[in-house]
Amino acid sequence: MKQRTWPHRTDNPRFTALPFDGSSVDDLAAKFARRRHHHHHQTDRSASTSASSRRVPKPPPPPPPSSSRLRSPASRWKLAPAGSPKPAPSRDFAGLPYDVLARIAASFTQSNLRAASLVCRSWNEALRPLREAMLLLHWGKRFKHGRGGAGANSEKALDSFLKGAARGSTLAMVDAGLMYWEMGKKEAAIELYRKAASLGDPAGQCNLGIAYLQVEPAKPQEAIKWLQLASAAGHIRAQYQLALCLHRGSGQDTNLVEAARWYLKAAEGGYVRAMYNVALCYSFGEGFHRNRRQARSWMKRAADRGHSKAQFEHGLSLFSEGEMLKAVVYLELATRAGERAAAHLKHVILQQLSAPSRDRGMFLADNWRALPSSR
């Protein structure tokens, strides 16, 4: 497949929205200029008070968003209107080619896309396919989860997501990929994740990385590469997964310091399992210098967010500090979550407590709610 800056699904020219009626590009540029001046007067009348009323008289705008499909430099020259003034090409971001704009906005959320569409006409036009994609994404989600009175319909969901993906939305690509993955069509999933990832979507990059770890045979180098990109972009789950890779050393040497660093990032981002691992790192001096205070602090945070092993560990700490009642609460929670080791210790402590204290302990456990977390 010929290298292009933008993977076109259809070969519709991007400028069908402009009055491109086959007239020469010269005429088009002139038409464009005329329309601009016309609206110049109109918008003056509407007396906008915004800063955009700073009208700098401009030379006719650059050639209309021309296709970036280049065969050779020679054909590219033909697209430049012969008679247009060529002093300094105006660096007008309104004049960015449509496919470049679409690429820029590929991973935008709905709200960002809307705001971008309202900037100016050419942006509005350029982003039209993406807005359609958002709609398809929305419908796809509804089909997937079965809302509005209809039951879940995976086929329609996937169809919607794929259509959204075809219009260039990385969010749709990721959701489509996820559906394929859940169906067991891993190759197809990876292809979609890859597209989203290469367009800079952190979720796509994260999913791609994880896919490369889970596929047979695993591709740890690739996985780490993509997880790193997503982690650098702040994707919390990716940071945790990256830390795991570096910790286990899948495919390359372990790097405990890096692993600990990424666990910490993910933990700060609210990822509960990362909090637990951070606590262990501080506890055993892996990747971090031993720090009991930090270990305890992170273990408590994980425990408060429902991590059952952390609840056990934290219960242990409290016990060793003589805080019997608090210890019993956490140990009870851990026991209920299935941590058998917690049950033993819990019984031991319960013997030492008075009946009211025992009741209080159970009451607190019954009424405990996990704190919010990012996962």
Partner 1 sequence: MATSRKVTLLSSDGESFEVEQSVAVESITIKDSIEEGSAGNPIPVPKVNSKILAKVIEYCKKHVESAKAEDRVDDEDLVAWDADFVKVDQATLFDLIRAANFLNIKSLLDLTCQTVADMIKGKTPEEKRKTFTIRNDFTPEEEEEVRRENQWAFE
Q: Angle at CA 36, nearest 5°, toward 35 and 42?
A: 90
Q: Quick check: 146 binds partner 1 (CB under 8 A)?
A: no
Contact indicator for 260, 244 with CB cutoff of 8 Å = no
Of the pair 24, 48, the CB lying nearest partner 1 is at 48
Q: Quick check: 96 binds partner 1 (CB under 8 A)?
A: yes
The burial class, CB within 10 Å (0-12 / 13-18 / 19+), for 168 is buried
- Tell me which of 19, 59, 83, 89 binds partner 1, using CB under 8 A: 89
How far is residue 166's CA from residue 140's CA, in Å, rounded to a whole number? 14
- Tell me which of 14, 103, 247, 309 binds partner 1, using CB under 8 A: 103
Structure token digits, residue 116: 């971008």
Q: Quick check: 1 binds partner 1 (CB under 8 A)?
A: no
- Tell me which of 50, 320, 354, 367 binds partner 1, using CB under 8 A: 50
Structure token digits, residue 270: 């609210």
Stretch that binds partner 1, among 19-27, 47-55, 173-181, 209-217 (CB under 8 A): 47-55
How many residues does the structure list for the chain?
375
How far is residue 347's CA from residue 344's CA, in Å, rounded to a whole number? 5
Of the pair 255, 294, the CB lying nearest partner 1 is at 255
Site pattern 51..80 for partner 1 (x: CB under 8 A): xx--x------------x-xxxxx-xx--x
In the bound complex, what is the minimum distance in angstroms from residue 54's beta carbon to partner 1?
Answer: 9
Provide DSSP, 113-161: HHHHHTS-HHHHHHTHHHHHHHHHHHHHHHHHHT-TTPPP-HHHHHHHH
In the bound complex, what is the minimum distance in angstroms from residue 252's beta carbon to partner 1?
Answer: 8
In the bound complex, what is the minimum distance in angstroms from residue 37's beta carbon to partner 1?
Answer: 11
Q: What is the 3-state secondary structure (H, E, C) of 301-369?
A: HHHHCCCHHHHHHHHHHHHHCCCHHHHHHHHHHHHHCCCHHHHHHHHHHHHHCCHHHHHHHHHHHHCCC
**Residues in contact with 312: Cβ distance below 8 Å, sequence separation at least 6, in sequence order:** 330, 331, 334, 339, 341, 342
How far is residue 285's CA from residue 282's CA, in Å, rounded to a whole number? 5
Stretch that binds partner 1, among 21-29, 90-98, 235-243, 284-292 (CB under 8 A): 90-98
Q: Quick check: 104 binds partner 1 (CB under 8 A)?
A: yes
Site pattern 323..352 for partner 1 (x: CB under 8 A): ------------------------------
Of the pair 227, 342, the CB lying nearest partner 1 is at 227
In the bound complex, what is the minimum distance in angstroms from residue 118's beta carbon to partner 1?
Answer: 4
Q: Quick check: 291 binds partner 1 (CB under 8 A)?
A: no
Taking only Cα atoms into account, the Rg of the chain, rounded to an integer number of angstroms, comes to 29
Q: Quick check: 31 binds partner 1 (CB under 8 A)?
A: no
Stretch that binds partner 1, among 38-46, 204-212, 284-292, 339-347 (CB under 8 A): 38-46
In the bound complex, what is the minimum distance in angstroms from residue 39's beta carbon to partner 1?
Answer: 5
Q: At what angle do helices 308-320 and 340-352 cross, to 10 degrees?
A: 30
In the bound complex, what is the minimum distance in angstroms from residue 344's beta carbon to partner 1?
Answer: 45
Of the pair 92, 359, the CB lying nearest partner 1 is at 92
In the bound complex, what is the minimum distance in angstroms from residue 117's beta carbon to partner 1?
Answer: 6
- Tell me which of 36, 145, 248, 347 binds partner 1, using CB under 8 A: 36
Distances (CA, A) of 22 to 16, 68, 71, 97, 126: 11, 19, 21, 19, 20
- Tell me which of 14, 15, 18, 108 binds partner 1, using CB under 8 A: 108
Distances (CA, A) of 148 to 141, 145, 158, 163: 11, 10, 18, 21
Q: Which residue's structure tokens are 């889970």?
A: 214
Contact positions vs partner 1 (CB under 8 A)? 3-5, 36, 39, 42-43, 46, 48, 50-52, 55, 68, 70-74, 76-77, 80, 89, 91-94, 96-97, 99-100, 103-105, 107-108, 110, 112, 114-121, 123-124, 131, 135, 138, 198-200, 225, 228, 232
